[in-house]
């Protein structure tokens, strides 16, 4: 009897134990399910909050973009040479401005003055309030369009070609030191022995203020009126105005053209008396290259070439054309340059357009900007050309 009772008691204990174990498993599963559900809810809420924040950020950026001043940068076409490289450098800077996000910007290239005027008029006609303009005027006829910007209260920065009639209204007038280019060439000639009254031939770019200033810088240095690289011409090397007037010959506008200069130089060398001219100041590297191509080609009589090169002529250009820097590095035209008395290029980099764009950005930021912003130049010779980067 006692055995039956004990057996029954043990069976009951086992049954209770199994039941208790079964209940414990069920409770753990429910708790786990509840925890997962709770975590999913939190994650969903966090994603919702993140999405809301992203939407808000996007809205803020869109609003900021809508309110941001838009900068129009008008340049000559991006084709080749100095003016073409201006557009290339402008696009680099515009990309930087857009990347920073505070302002928006775009480049508009204009193949001629009439088209550039139309572009300015179209910008004004849109009626947008938050706009600014950086412009490289194609020629002086663009003054009328710039005056419209002034009349509408649209801030503008002028680059390279500064038009006197509207210069006082610009946020900034950014240019290389055109007078310095003339002074640099004159100083180079003097350093190589040019004497007062020696014959000088000047190949001019065009009829703009750029050419006028490059002419002035050359003569003002010789007269002792301005410095180059911190120094004036020595008193015993100064020229008189009469010597300036009688000894310097100007080509007239070569339209910044290599081919026009080449043809003009070939014609000049057709007169034997001109082969005695030793000092040639070309107001652009393209013009200097035109002379080198003429000397390397068949358009000049061999006897004229021999007479000319026998006089150890000196040629200067300016701008920073890498092709001419290559000549200075000894990579081309070695036969000709070995017979020259010297060859040099004064800096006038197209990358200066980036300074013009930065001046506009600084002005929009409320910072003070120098209105007459002149960038100094340097003489580049075979001795220091490795320190300079040219443009194509």
- Give, for all 392 residues of the chain, the pLDDT tens digit: 433 333 443 344 334 333 333 333 334 444 444 444 444 544 445 544 554 454 444 444 444 455 799 999 999 998 877 888 999 999 999 999 999 999 999 999 999 999 999 999 999 999 999 999 999 999 899 999 999 999 999 999 999 989 999 999 999 999 999 999 999 999 999 999 999 999 999 999 999 888 999 999 999 999 999 999 999 999 999 999 999 999 999 999 999 999 999 999 999 999 999 999 999 999 999 999 999 999 999 999 999 999 999 999 999 999 999 999 999 999 999 999 999 999 999 999 999 999 999 999 999 999 999 999 999 999 999 999 999 989 98
3-state secondary structure of 129: coil
The domains of the chain are located at 68-176+352-374, 178-347
Cα→Cα distances 220→119, 295, 303, Å: 38, 30, 36
Class of domain 178-347: alpha beta
- What pTM was computed for the model? 0.72
Cα→Cα distances 303→122, 256, 333, 341, Å: 57, 29, 19, 19
Locate 340 and state its tokens.
Answer: 């020259």
Locate 50 and state its tokens.
Answer: 């993140």
DSSP state of 231: B
The reply to whether domains 68-176+352-374 and 178-347 share a CATH topology is yes
Chain-centre distance of CA 162, in angstroms? Answer: 16
Task: Give the C-alpha separation, 136 to 157, whole Å.
Answer: 9
The CATH superfamily label for domain 68-176+352-374 reads Response regulator (3.40.50.2300)
Strands (E), the chain: 70-75, 104-109, 131-135, 156-159, 172-176, 200-204, 248-253, 279-282, 314-319, 342-347, 372-375, 379-380
């Amino acid at each position: 009897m006692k055995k039956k009772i004990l057996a029954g008691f043990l069976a009951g204990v086992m049954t209770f134990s199994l039941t208790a174990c079964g209940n414990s498993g069920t409770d753990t599963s429910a708790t786990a399910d509840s925890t997962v559900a709770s975590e999913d809810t939190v994650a969903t809420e966090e994603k919702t909050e993140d999405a809301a924040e992203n939407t808000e950020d996007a809205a803020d950026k869109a609003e900021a973009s809508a309110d941001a001043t838009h900068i129009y940068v008008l340049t000559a076409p991006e084709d080749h040479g100095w003016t073409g490289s201006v557009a290339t450098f402008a696009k680099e800077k515009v990309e930087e401005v857009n990347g920073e996000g505070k302002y928006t910007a775009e480049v508009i290239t204009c193949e001629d003055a009439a088209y550039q005027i139309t572009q300015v008029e179209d910008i004004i006609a849109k009626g947008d309030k938050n706009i600014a303009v950086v412009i490289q005027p194609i020629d002086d006829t663009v003054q009328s369009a710039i005056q419209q910007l002034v009349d509408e209260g649209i801030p503008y920065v002028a680059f390279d070609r500064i038009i006197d009639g509207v210069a006082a209204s610009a946020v900034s007038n950014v240019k290389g030191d055109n007078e310095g280019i003339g002074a640099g060439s004159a100083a180079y000639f003097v350093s190589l022995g040019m004497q007062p009254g020696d014959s000088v031939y000047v190949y001019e770019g065009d009829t703009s203020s750029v050419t006028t200033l490059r002419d002035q810088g050359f003569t003002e240095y010789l007269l002792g009126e301005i410095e180059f690289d911190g120094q004036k011409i020595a008193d015993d090397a100064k020229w008189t105005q009469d010597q300036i007037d009688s000894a310097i010959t100007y080509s007239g506008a070569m339209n910044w053209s290599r081919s026009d200069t080449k043809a003009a130089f070939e014609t000049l060398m057709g007169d034997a008396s001109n082969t005695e001219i030793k000092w040639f100041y070309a107001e652009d590297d393209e013009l200097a290259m035109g002379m080198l191509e003429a000397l390397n080609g068949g358009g000049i009589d061999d006897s004229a070439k021999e007479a000319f090169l026998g006089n150890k002529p000196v040629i200067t250009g300016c701008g920073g054309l890498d092709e001419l820097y290559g000549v200075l590095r000894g990579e081309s035209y070695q036969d000709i340059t070995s017979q020259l008395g010297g060859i040099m290029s004064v800096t006038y980099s197209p990358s200066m357009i980036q300074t013009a764009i930065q001046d506009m950005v600084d002005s929009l930021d409320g910072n003070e900007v120098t209105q007459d912003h002149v960038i100094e130049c340097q003489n580049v010779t075979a001795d220091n050309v490795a320190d300079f980067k040219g443009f194509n």
